[in-house]
Amino acid sequence: MDYGLGDKTALIYGLGSTGMGAARGLRDAGVHVAVWDDKFAEGVDADMPFTVLKPDEIVWSRIGALIKSPGIAPTKALVQKALENKVPVLCDVDLLARRERGHDVSFIGIIGTNGKSTTTALVGHILRESGRKVAVGGHLGTPAMQLPELPTGGIYVMELSSFQLDMMRELRIDGGILLNLTPDHLERHGTMENYLNAKMRMFALAKPDAMRVMGTDQPILLAEAAKTGDFITIGVRNEAAITVRDGWIRDRGDKKIKLSDFPLLPGPHNAQNLACAYALLVPRFVTIQQFLKGAASFKGLPHRLEDISVIEGIRFVNDSKATNAESAVYALQSFQHVYWICGGQPKVDGLGDCVNHLENVRAAFTIGDAAGIFCNELQAHKVPTFRCDTLDKAVADAYATARTEGLEGAVVLLSPAAASWDQFRNFEHRGDVFVNLVRSLAESQGPRRRLYS
Ligand code: ADP
């Protein structure tokens, strides 16, 4: 298996986990591999297990492909040099497509601004539960090139980022979902149109009979779907082929999925994820019975509206992944009485659209660098808000307030609407600290607590 490179060298550009995965996969297949990362300009780690090729030493006629890491902008000089020298610039999913060429396997791609990881994991889970051989990865979890080789009939379910897509050339999917599109990464893509075009590459390259699913709540996607008529449209807020209405997912009006059967997938955004998964999978990949059975045993992903515990009737939910206002809005709409812990390293738009969705918020508890600004903003919107600064104080205060009010359906929700780097290593670390605080609280409350496993 030479990945179509013959005896030419694969030059890996960017050595994060994706680049390292690609380098290892190619080397193990016997391909010549060389690597470069801009950080090598300051010195190369002595343990680097691959040949390092400096940009000014590259003989382009010996390079079969430049494998670009997703984080590297296509405008970078080395990428442009490769293109000038007619060297194909590929991403790791293209290599996976080359590796699997001629094998009877399928590819599913899941893209969008929010909900990719959840939907990818959900689709993978339902397929696996229905007895299919599945590998799940890409932007989420295992990089594409480290996914195992699957037997005949196997399905690769991949979350793809717009950074992977903007130069993808060879992956031809059998099914794909574009969940939504809201302004994000515009520093890289420039305009919403460019951002959309990057996403649409996946469908442009798809097999002709591929399943094409698109969430059409945003006008830009509604217009895009209308252009070709090739998409099964999904509407949570609008009319569409598949809609979410009155607690049901309806297929052309017919009730198909009762949302209250899936309490671990709360909120309108998870209803959208479920509806997209349904449109993609039923009936092409699984039956409706298999779908419902599989979805019912899906526990969600950690740090995304993750149910942690119920203490004295108060539920604790970890949504540490909500690093921007957009995601937190969905969390705020997902529960009846919210004691909201928010804050961290603020994004440019502060609490953004969250201030238009405060009707379920009983009280807020602000932390991190944003503690002061968020506190002022929320108080200006008449939400009783307590500046706590630290997560441990916020958990204790939110719990005490919720207990005092004693409302049925009370939820202490960590959904920060801000990045985590001011006080934590990353959003996972922030979520783990929250979970541990809640567990200690549960222990301190004695045997009447109820903890989820
Ligand atoms: P991604 O991989 O695209 O970042 P995740 O599944 O990790 O998406 O979810 C990121 C955040 O977005 C979480 O806070 C989650 O609750 C929220 N979210 C999940 N699905 C959606 C959706 N369909 N639309 C908007 N927000 C969503």
Q: Which atom of ligand 1 is nearest to the CA of 321?
A: 14
CA of 300 to the centre of ligand 1 (A): 11
If 0-12 CB within 10 Å is exposed, 13-18 middle and 19+ buried, where does residue 209 land? exposed
Which residues pair with residue 215 across a beta bridge?
234
C-alpha of residue 216 to centroid of ligand 1, in Å: 16
pTM of the predicted model, to two decimals? 0.87
End-to-end CA distance of the chain: 44
Tell me the one-letter amino acid at 409: G
| 3-state SS class at 70 | coil
Counting atoms of ligand 1 from 1, which one is nearest the CA of 273?
23
pLDDT of residue 47: 84
- Tokens linked to 210: 């591929």
- Our mutation pick for probing the ligand 1 site, out of 269, 276, 305, 354, counting the most ligand atoms within 8 A of Cβ, is 269
pLDDT in tens, the chain (453 residues): 889 999 999 999 999 888 998 999 999 999 999 999 999 988 888 788 999 999 999 999 999 999 999 888 889 999 999 999 999 999 999 999 999 999 999 999 999 988 999 999 999 999 999 999 999 999 878 999 999 999 999 999 999 987 888 788 999 999 999 999 886 655 666 788 888 888 899 999 999 999 999 999 999 999 999 998 999 999 999 999 999 999 999 999 999 999 999 988 988 999 999 999 999 999 999 999 999 999 999 988 999 999 999 999 999 999 999 998 988 998 999 999 999 999 999 987 789 999 999 999 999 999 999 999 999 999 999 999 999 999 999 999 999 999 999 999 999 999 999 999 999 999 999 999 999 999 999 998 865 544 543
Number of H helices, E strands in the chain: 14, 23
Atom of ligand 1 nearest to the CA of 139: 2
User: What pLDDT is attached to residue 184?
Assistant: 61
What is the phi-psi region of residue 183: left when phi exceeds 0, alpha when psi lies from -120 to 50, beta otherwise? beta
Q: Is 327 in the pocket of ligand 1 (CB under 6 A)?
A: yes
Query: Are 378 and 306 contacting, i.e. CB atoms less than 8 angstroms apart?
Result: no
Going by DSSP bridges, is the β-strand pair 248-251/254-258 parallel, antiparallel, or unpaired?
Answer: antiparallel
306 lines ligand 1 (CB under 6 A): no
| Contact (Cβ atoms closer than 8 angstroms) between residue 62 and residue 137 | no
Residue 116 alpha carbon to ligand 1 centre in Å: 6
Q: What is the pLDDT of residue 342?
A: 98
C-alpha span between 422 and 366 (Å, rounded): 13
Q: What is the distance in A from the centroid of ligand 1 to the CA of 383?
A: 25
Q: Cβ distance 274 to 265 under 8 Å? A: yes
Tell me how far the alpha carbon of residue 428 lies from the centroid of ligand 1, in angstroms.
14
Tell me how far apart the alpha carbons of residues 294 and 433 are, in angstroms, rounded to a whole number: 30
CA distances from 141 to 17, 118, 135, 233, 301 (A): 10, 12, 11, 28, 12
Closest C-alpha residue for ligand 1 atom 14: 322
Determine the residue of 330, 413, 430, 434 to mutate for testing ligand 1's pocket, defined as the one with the most ligand atoms within 8 A of the Cβ atom: 330
Rounded CA separation 429/356 (Å): 29
Nearest residue by C-alpha to atom 17 in ligand 1: 327
Q: Which residue's alpha carbon is nearest to atom 9 within ligand 1?
A: 115
Q: Ligand 1 test: best mutation among 270, 304, 414, most atoms within 8 Å of CB?
A: 304
pLDDT at 185: 58
Pocket test for ligand 1, best of 113, 118, 180, 415 (most atoms within 8 A of CB): 118
